[in-house]
Structure 1
Amino acid sequence: MKPLRLLSLILTWMLCAGVGADSLLVVKPRETELTRAFVDALQDNYPKRDVQVALLERDPYPGDAALVVTMGLEALEWRLRQNAPTPTIAVYVTRDQMAEQDLLSHIQVLLASPRPERQLLLAQLLFPRLQDVGMLYSPSQRRQLEDWQRAARQAGLTLHPGEVTQPLALLRTLSDLLDRSDVLLGMDDPEIYNASTLKPLLLASYSRNRVLIGPSAPFIAAGSLSTTYSTPRDMADSVYLVQQMQWQPGAVRYPQRFSVLSNAQVARSLGLAMPEDEQLQQTIQTREGNAP
């Protein structure tokens, strides 16, 4: 075989394989500030590895990568259609999106949703005398509600669920719930928390001197009081930590690393003396570390 022909075949094979044995392949749906920040943080955690990045629209292939990291539900669904058994950690998938997913043994998930135990502990730190917590949910999220009820029992709190079976019943269900609750906790439920419902939910809650904790960081600017969440750096650090553990086939986890974000303006308007976010994060992390 001529040298030029051989070189051409080698280059073609390398392009098809995509990445080398020590490589880490990140598959993301699109180029955004968040995806760039996550990849940068991931590269910091793997300085001796070649971190490759591929856009989902180009239909990449895992090749000989040692690890694949997918970002978002679309990328996870793409990975589930692949035959390659490469270990894969899926990030930026919410708890409500996992209801229809059957994971393969070589895939684990790091959820973007706040951990229920963590959110409840945050609520207790903000309101030390807290006893009753309210939670709205749609029928499609009954399974997720079970996780919150279990976490509330462990925290010594009473969780009052309010099922919203139709949009017109939202505010009526909320009103009944606020009669029995000291704080409203939001779960990842797009049927309850979305652009059209958030303002009336917040107005109704604050008119009764009740606050909303959660459901995620984007809702803080809109008027939610506080939440735990994972920054791109937190998520990248959590990926690294998961890879150091024994592989658990099909595991669905919450990130070990997290931050706290609060709305100081809401706190002032309600006359609440709030600890600094960094202090709240450190206290929660310490208590989680000491938990049995």
Structure 2
Amino acid sequence: MRMPRLLMLALAWLLSMGSWADTIGVVIPQDTVLTRSFVEALASRMPADRLEVHVLGIPQVPDSASLLVTMGQEALQWRLAQSSQIPTIATYVTLDGLRELHDSVRPSSVQILLASAKPDRQLRLAQLLIPHMNTAGLLFSEQQQWQQRFWQAAAARQGVTLYARGVAHADELPRRLSDVLNQSDVLVGLDDPALYNAENLKTLLLTSYARRRVLIGPSAPFIAAGSLSTTYSTPENMAESVIAAWRQPWKPAAIRYPEQFSVLSNDQVAHSLGLPPPDDGELMRRILAMEQTR
């Protein structure tokens, strides 16, 4: 008769453990392949916690949540309009989007995980792919000139010379691009939709490759279009980085890049430029090792 009692005690213990689980509210802009992949990745890595997914503008997130995770610019803006003090990690916010939040007051309860590629990683990637690279070229629009200081600091840390030029108007792009390519070993794209868009892509790629210069970045969608390589964060990388940020001592109002990342390259572009096919996994491991030794 003792066995049923032991089973009942064990069941009671398991049920009490469940009561300790955190409730994680995930606020998404809409139901997409990306949002589903991210939520699934988050759920698989937090099996003891309960995830409640809320589509922006439909239900309200309960105040009982231990953590809020927002996806994208609109969800972050929604969160900043709330008076709640629930710890929040805002994901999939770009540097371009961050500029739009310049005048917003960010409470200490909100941290931001950027979706834009980290400048240090992009420059390290360029160094690994182009071993004799000394100068990295950078183009930026007037709206994104404020990003230049991040790249200058990253270039100094990596021992790279940065040759940067601004593009005030669209008709200046060919001339500024030629200037940058003539003075640098590689063109590194930044998160600047005014320049790096479908309309300018042909000019950027054809002009660069005509001068035997590669384009690094600015993001994963550009790889299929003809960029050589980039660092980026998959939904799994972003989920792991959310968990890491949540488990670490809270950093009030912090803006950071995901700790986990991946590398994506275009083998065909590498071949056409006479470069060896990139090993994305090895490139990621080498960049990560460099970060961990600093």
Same fold (TM over 0.5): yes
- In the TM superposition, residue 45 of structure 1 has moved relative to its aligned partner by 1.5
- The 2-side partners of 1:62 and 1:249 are apart by 22
- The 2-side partners of 1:106 and 1:198 are apart by 39
- In the TM superposition, residue 21 of structure 1 has moved relative to its aligned partner by 7.8
- In the TM superposition, residue 243 of structure 1 has moved relative to its aligned partner by 0.6
Amino acid of the residue matched to residue 185 of structure 2? Answer: D
Answer whether contact 1:87 1:107 (CA < 8 A) is retained: yes
- The 1-side partners of 2:278 and 2:227 are apart by 16
SS at match of 2:258: coil
Answer whether contact 1:126 1:274 (CA < 8 A) is retained: no
Per the alignment, residue 118 of structure 2 pairs with 115
- In the TM superposition, residue 219 of structure 1 has moved relative to its aligned partner by 0.6
TM-score (norm 2): 0.90
Per the alignment, residue 126 of structure 1 pairs with 129
- The C-alpha deviation readout for 1:168-191, integer Å capped at 9, x for no partner, is 101110001111011000000000
User: Does 133-142 or 51-60 show the bigger shift?
Assistant: 51-60
Answer whether contact 2:124 2:287 (CA < 8 A) is retained: yes
Answer whether contact 2:25 2:51 (CA < 8 A) is retained: yes
Per the alignment, residue 248 of structure 1 pairs with 251
- The C-alpha deviation readout for 1:54-96, integer Å capped at 9, x for no partner, is 1003152342100000000000000011111100000001012
- In the TM superposition, residue 154 of structure 1 has moved relative to its aligned partner by 1.1
Please list every run of 5 or more consecutive structure 1 residues that lacks an aligned counterpart in the other structure: 1-19
Per the alignment, residue 33 of structure 2 pairs with 33
- Whether 1:186 aligns to 2:189 is yes
Answer whether contact 1:23 1:52 (CA < 8 A) is retained: yes
- The 2-side partners of 1:128 and 1:114 are apart by 21
- The 2-side partners of 1:58 and 1:161 are apart by 44
- The C-alpha deviation readout for 1:229-253, integer Å capped at 9, x for no partner, is 0000000000000011111111000
Per the alignment, residue 77 of structure 1 pairs with 77
- The 2-side partners of 1:63 and 1:189 are apart by 36
- In the TM superposition, residue 143 of structure 1 has moved relative to its aligned partner by 1.6
Answer whether contact 2:137 2:184 (CA < 8 A) is retained: yes
TM-score (norm 1): 0.91
Per the alignment, residue 198 of structure 2 pairs with 195
Per the alignment, residue 100 of structure 1 pairs with 100
- The 2-side partners of 1:73 and 1:58 are apart by 17
- State how many pairs are aligned: 272
- The 2-side partners of 1:289 and 1:120 are apart by 16
- The C-alpha deviation readout for 1:36-63, integer Å capped at 9, x for no partner, is 0100010011111110101003152342
- In the TM superposition, residue 31 of structure 1 has moved relative to its aligned partner by 0.8
Runs of 4+ off more than 6 Å: none
Answer whether contact 2:137 2:181 (CA < 8 A) is retained: yes
- The 2-side partners of 1:31 and 1:157 are apart by 42
Amino acid of the residue matched to residue 31 of structure 2? Answer: E
SS at match of 1:65: coil
- The C-alpha deviation readout for 1:115-143, integer Å capped at 9, x for no partner, is 10011000000111110110000111122
Answer whether contact 1:28 1:56 (CA < 8 A) is retained: yes
- The 1-side partners of 2:194 and 2:44 are apart by 37
- The 2-side partners of 1:284 and 1:274 are apart by 17
SS at match of 2:198: coil
Answer whether contact 2:231 2:264 (CA < 8 A) is retained: yes
Answer whether contact 1:25 1:65 (CA < 8 A) is retained: yes
Answer whether contact 1:108 1:252 (CA < 8 A) is retained: yes
Per the alignment, residue 180 of structure 2 pairs with 177
Amino acid of the residue matched to residue 249 of structure 1? Answer: P
Per the alignment, residue 266 of structure 1 pairs with 269
Per the alignment, residue 167 of structure 1 pairs with 170
- The 2-side partners of 1:57 and 1:21 are apart by 26
SS at match of 2:180: helix
Q: 1:226 to 1:175 in 2, by over 3 A?
A: same
Per the alignment, residue 155 of structure 1 pairs with 158
